[in-house]
Chain A
């Protein structure tokens, strides 16, 4: 992709109030521009600092197309660096989570770096005498990304050195991050149990649009909720154990979904009120006791009264506060999206609660989920259909024009549960990012 063709895209012509052009999903040029203007500017989720508890720990991931590494230094500070050696360009940290003894060491020529990226040592030092090389010059250190924010352990970064503050960016859905952590008796959470990685043959926005889309479950997930009901009826007299209950939920009738609330905020964020009531079994009671002992009964009740399904933090992640899931969305190409799913421990809660969280995650978020497989299939079908000339526009009409300002806490806009409000809201943000002239100047992007 050459820079010269980018200005030819007329962003205004791609987005209407209630529909968007298919090029948003299938065009390579649009994708390239998204990498620059959205993922080059927005606050993007990098990881959780519990993944790097000790000095020398690191975690690698992607911000747009940029390979980055999150590190912790001796002072306990978290840094986010481009994963590139300033010498020959080799990636320095191997993929995934790991630990080095205080210094990164490039596998190619053994240049060494502090965990904050600063160059420490260069072999054959005498050979650099009389050259413009300077060990103190930042261009010979690993480059830091523009800005980093760590909110209660959740680390976000923006490649841009200037732009909207993290506080403004997160304001609408900050209450979801707070509730995610407040549910822990200790007030902190930590990543546990590994990471699921799923590749989708579809555009990254398709996944975001699905997260708060209540119109699809009854159709898309029919095979799995019917399968669960069949077993329940044939073998259990209609009883629904936890796993089947989760699967069965997708078969709820339209009125159930309409009665939920959808809340939408600036920057494309949104959340939906919960599908599942908080369980009231002995384990849940024991968990409530642990929370009440730490925070007092009233506060514990208040915390658990905030019961939400997916929260969307556009354009990079989606926490599920009630079941401690955190999905990370990484665009790979117009028709490939990597989704990584993390599961969290509520620090101080009974260990059995984490086991139940794993069961939820195994059923809903594993690559082998009998629920998700139909989602992923339908996303790919959307992508294939959008690549045809069968039509240029994608409808987002459901309940358009009916959304109302919300007067309660968090503010924003509220819509009925069946509304396509979150999708329209995402495209408002998309339009804003994509039109924003305050993007990195040509030449700064390396192209």
Chain B
């Protein structure tokens, strides 16, 4: 993971940017299994309900899903009788303003902030969700893995129509 211009701790900005883009691309292509495989076995997908929410356990969250609950959600999205997926959600993500916020080279861990917009089309029409991502990434032999993906929607405490796909 070292090369010209790469930092001594091994966290190469371009690799991280490519990883976030790949992750978003997999969601937009509905390659949910491949997307889910980007997580560490204990990895969590978290969409807090509150602004600046400190913790996912002592407060409600819009989503707080481990590997099991993500897979169940994926199973459902593929089911023929997922009524609200007729037609299926189609999404386009844009990820930008990628900033490496914290580096923990001893643990091989890096915290990455970014902004996103996700447009989604489904039975009720087109909508846009927007907010900030915080990726807790672990660098191992075969590249980055997600220890936690935190999605802070700018309207997290607002009114929603159902959210079915991963943001």
- Give me the interface of A with B, judged by CB distance under 8 Å: 192-199, 201, 220, 222-224, 226-228, 230-231, 235, 241, 243-244, 247, 338, 343, 351, 354-355, 358, 361-362, 366-370, 372-374, 376-378, 380-381
Contacts and interface: CB of A to CB of B under 8 A. Distances in A.
Given A227-B79, A367-B62, 11 more contacts: A194-B50, A224-B76, A231-B72, A351-B58, A355-B57, A362-B60, A362-B61, A370-B72, A370-B73, A376-B84, A376-B161
B123 A377 contact: yes
Contact of B60 (A196, A223, A380): A196
**Secondary structure of the B side of the interface?**
loop
A226 B159 CA distance: 28
A220 B83 contact: yes
Given A194-B157, A231-B71, A372-B162, A377 B84 contact: yes
Contacts of B62: 196, 366-368
B34 interface: no
Given A194-B49, A370-B164, A380 B57 contact: no
Interface residues of B, number: 35
Nearest to A226: B79
Contacts of B75: 226-228, 230-231
A223 B79 contact: yes
A207 to B, nearest CB: 14
Contacts, number: 119
A366 B69 CA distance: 14
B49 A199 contact: no
B26 interface: no
Contacts of A377: 83-84, 123, 162
Nearest to A377: B84
A222 B162 CA distance: 17
B76 to A, nearest CB: 4
A71 to B, nearest CB: 21
A194 B61 CA distance: 9
A198 B161 contact: yes
A370 B59 CA distance: 19
Interface string B65-78: 00011011101100
A109 B82 CA distance: 53
Contacts of B63: 362, 366, 368
Interface in B132-167: 157-164
A366 B72 contact: no
A199 B161 contact: yes
Pick the most buried of B50, B63, B69: most chain A CB atoms within 10 A of its CB: B69
A195 B49 CA distance: 8
A194 B60 contact: yes
A331 to B, nearest CB: 14
Nearest to A231: B72
A243 B162 contact: no
A362 B72 CA distance: 14
A381 B83 CA distance: 10
A24 to B, nearest CB: 23
B59 A223 contact: no
A219 to B, nearest CB: 8
Nearest to B78: A227
Contacts of A223: 76, 79-83, 85
B83 A231 contact: no
B162 A373 contact: yes
Question: 3 smallest A-B Cβ distances: which pairs?
Answer: A377-B84, A227-B75, A367-B160
B47 interface: yes
A130 to B, nearest CB: 48
B159 A366 contact: no
A228 B59 contact: no
B160 A198 contact: yes
Pick the most buried of A222, A243, A366: most chain B CB atoms within 10 A of its CB: A366
Nearest to A381: B83
A362 B63 CA distance: 7
A194 B84 CA distance: 26
B76 A199 contact: no
Pick the most buried of B76, B160, B164: most chain A CB atoms within 10 A of its CB: B76
B71 A373 contact: no
A198 B159 contact: yes
Pick the most buried of B47, B60, B75: most chain A CB atoms within 10 A of its CB: B60
Nearest to A220: B83
A241 B71 CA distance: 14
Contacts of B164: 368, 370, 373
Contacts of A194: 49-50, 59-60, 157
B61 A366 contact: yes
30 contacts: A194-B50, A194-B60, A194-B157, A197-B157, A197-B158, A197-B159, A199-B160, A222-B79, A226-B76, A227-B79, A230-B72, A230-B75, A231-B68, A231-B71, A231-B72, A235-B68, A241-B68, A338-B159, A351-B58, A362-B63, A366-B61, A368-B63, A369-B162, A370-B72, A370-B73, A376-B161, A376-B162, A377-B83, A377-B84, A377-B162
